[in-house]
Chains A and B, each alone.
Chain A
Amino acid sequence: MPMNLRAAAIGVLLAAFATTALAENAPDPWPGLVTDLFQGREIAKADGTISLEAPTRAEDAAIVPMTLRFSDPAKVKVATLVIDQNPMPMAASFTLGDKAGVDFIETRVRVNSYTNVHAVAETRDGALVAEAKFVKASGGCSAPAGKDPDEARANMGKMKYREFRSAVAGRREAQIMIRHPNNSGLQMDQITRTYTPAHYIDSVEVWQGDALIFRMEGGISLSEDPNFRFTYAPNGARTIRVIAHDNKGGAFKSEWPIADAS
């Protein structure tokens, strides 16, 4: 093919693709999400109150680690993780205990397509502040949740607790893991044309003694086997207690002794 003709053809095509791309990307879901999730309230730009660590490219779109950090834990009442382009964008909303002293929470989510991810903090004086990151991924939500569905079903509700040496003096670091397939309800059976019903963890409470560390409300954007790693300020309690619920009425409870609790 003559080069100039080819170049012209490419030009025309690029123009056509650009138009399509614009049209596809035009509806930014964020303004609508601000209305739906935050009642249209004003949201201030990131000032360090909350910061978001997210990979620029998701390695496994079904297991994308996200970390919320708080520069002054006492200031934050609720921290919400929003994956703008996901079918159910509100991935997790963490209500932090008054004196819990949580300075980070790391969890894992599914990311369905290229998307902005927002971390929004509601401060105890009622203001909203957010930080956003762009993540490249595809197929986390409509892609199959489980690599081994039989095992996922067999182990549902099992929990695991780990403690780590905290990098911050006076704080403890721990991890809560819950076996659950967290089915998204978005996987269509090609043969029967029906969807596998959604079945997912929708709330998790973590307590030290009688004091709340955090309460999470979440949805299908959380990965299979929901996983939370966080710090907290110890209050002398001897146990960590977890109560989790799923959307079909399943309730899962566990309690573990805190090592060297005083």
Chain B
Amino acid sequence: MLRILTAILTVAAALLFPSVAGAAGAFFALAEIAPGVFAHQGETALMTRDNLGGIANLGAIVGEDAIAVIDTGGSLIQGRAFLAALREKSQKPIRYVINTHAHPDHVFGNAAFAGPGVTFVGHKNLPRALAARGEHYVAAFRATMGDALDGVTIVPPTLTVAESLALDLGGREIELVAWRTAHSEADLTVLDRKTGTLFAGDLLFLQHVPVVDGSLLGFLDVADRLAAIKAERVVPGHGPMVAPWPKALDDERAYLSHLTADLRAAIRKGESVREAAGTAGNEEKSKWRLFEDYNARNATAGFAELEWESP
């Protein structure tokens, strides 16, 4: 009886959930947004089995000698699809895999790129962040992603950036900058000097409401500093795959400023964290997607941060 039931379940599962590996040949669009600079646009959504965790924007920069990959996607399947799409564009060796921070949608595809000659690069805090959070992330996303998470392993960087670092891809230098705690505790940006293309990671959200998992005040401060970077265009962590620079920062700065001002006012009035989380930032609601998923969370964490401001 047990065997029959197992057989039925296996058939049923196969019917209901066509193998994710089959879906992996999954179409993966990679566009050349500037000479030798490629980007992929993620869905503006939460990570699910259906989208294979493919919600973040990813990129690659191809030099004369080597390639640098920027973020690897939200699953091993997506990482492999990215690698396959990139191989259609260039056969040069992938020398660097750069993670812009520790969040699952940016690092879960790392293992697809691991191998001899490949150096993983990240913010000086990235090893610590992955150590503290990696296992939790893999366990937590199992519930929503199921077998789309198979094979995901946490691959920490072996080359870290304390302030800034230039990497030479052959006739092409890219500049990595490590930022103070902002969107997260390990945010890194990548600038391709040759084309003036900035990969901002999740220091820039477009359309997808910004997520504060580090420091609200830090995020505001870094957004201001980013504006000084000389670039033509930017690839944000979420939203359209490319946008004009620095205009692309406007919406995010407005959101973070409104949220901060509302929280400060609520704290001054003596509101509780729960009262404030229900209202702070709400005037921004119509401008963003996934607002319901993240705004109250941003407000809760932001309240606990701003409460320590004087007096």
B133 within 8 A of A: yes
* Residue B59 interfacial (CB < 8 Å): no
Contact present for A12 and B8 (CB under 8 Å): yes
B215 touches A144 (CB 8 A): no
Q: Which residues of B contact A225 (CB under 8 A)?
A: 304, 308
* A10-B214 CB under 8 A given contacts A147-B301, A149-B128, A187-B132: no
Contact B133 A144 (CB under 8 A): yes
Report the nearest A residue to B143, measured CB to CB. Answer: A138
Residues on the B chain within 8 Å of A47, using CB:
none
Are B16 and A6 within 8 A (Cβ)? yes
A139 to B140, CA, bound (A): 7
Residues of A whose CB lies within 8 Å of any CB of B are 1, 5-6, 8-10, 12-13, 16, 55, 59-60, 62-63, 65, 67, 106, 108, 138-139, 142-144, 147-151, 160, 162, 164-165, 177, 179, 187-192, 196, 223, 225, 227, 229
Residue of B15, B132, B134 near A5 (CB, 8 A) is: B15
* Minimum Cβ distance to chain A for residue B159 (Å): 16
Nearest B residue to A189 via CB reads B131
B48 interfacial by beta-carbon distance below 8 Å: no
**By DSSP majority rule, is chain B's interface helix, strand, loop, or mixed?**
helix
Find out whether the CB atom of A60 lies under 8 angstroms from the CB atom of B300.
Answer: yes
B133 contacts across to A, CB distance below 8 A: 143-144, 187
Q: What is the distance, in angstroms, from B303's C-beta to the closest C-beta of chain A?
A: 8
**Is there contact, CB below 8 Å, between B215 and A147?**
yes
Check if B136 is an interface residue, CB within 8 A of chain A. yes
Residue ranges of B at the interface with A (Cβ–Cβ < 8 Å): 8-9, 11-13, 15-16, 127-136, 139-140, 154, 156, 181, 184-185, 213-215, 218, 270, 272-274, 277, 296-297, 299-301, 304, 307-308
**Most chain-A CB neighbours within 10 Å: which of B133, B185, B214, B300?**
B300
CA distance A179 to B273 in the complex (A): 17
A16–B9 contact, CB under 8 A? yes
A59:B296 contact, CB within 8 angstroms: yes
23 contacts between A and B (CB under 8 A): A9-B11, A10-B12, A59-B299, A60-B300, A63-B300, A63-B301, A65-B272, A139-B136, A142-B136, A142-B139, A144-B129, A144-B132, A147-B215, A148-B185, A148-B214, A148-B215, A148-B218, A164-B270, A187-B133, A187-B136, A189-B131, A190-B134, A227-B304
B181 touches A65 (CB 8 A): no
Once bound together, how far apart are the Cα atoms of A191 and B126, in whole Å?
A: 13
Of chain A, the residue at the smallest CB distance from B130 is A190
The 3 closest A-B pairs by CB, nearest first: A9-B12, A59-B296, A60-B300
B185: chain A residues within 8 A (beta carbon): 147-149
Q: Does A144 contact B136, Cβ atoms closer than 8 Å? A: yes
Contacts of A60 in B (CB 8 A): 297, 300-301
Q: Which residues of A contact B215 (CB under 8 A)?
A: 147-148
Contact partners of B129 in chain A: CB under 8 A: 144
- Contact A63 to B304, CB < 8 A, known contacts A10-B16, A190-B130: yes
Residues of chain A lying within 8 A (CB to CB) of residue B132: 144, 149, 187, 189, 196
Please give, as numbers and ranges, the residues of chain B lying within 8 Å of A177 by CB-CB distance: 307-308
Residues of A within 8 A of B273 (CB): 63, 65, 108
Q: Report the minimal beta-carbon distance from A138 to chain B, rounded to whole angstroms.
A: 6
Give A77 to B304 CA distance when docked, in angstroms.
29
B308 touches A147 (CB 8 A): no
Question: Which residues of A are found within 8 Å of B154, using beta-carbon distances?
Answer: 190
- Asked if B9 contacts A188 (CB within 8 A), the reply is no
Which residues in B have their C-beta under 8 angstroms from that of A16?
Answer: 9
In the complex the two chains form, is A147's CB within 8 Å of B214's CB? yes
B301 / chain A contacts, CB cutoff of 8 Å: 60, 62-63, 147
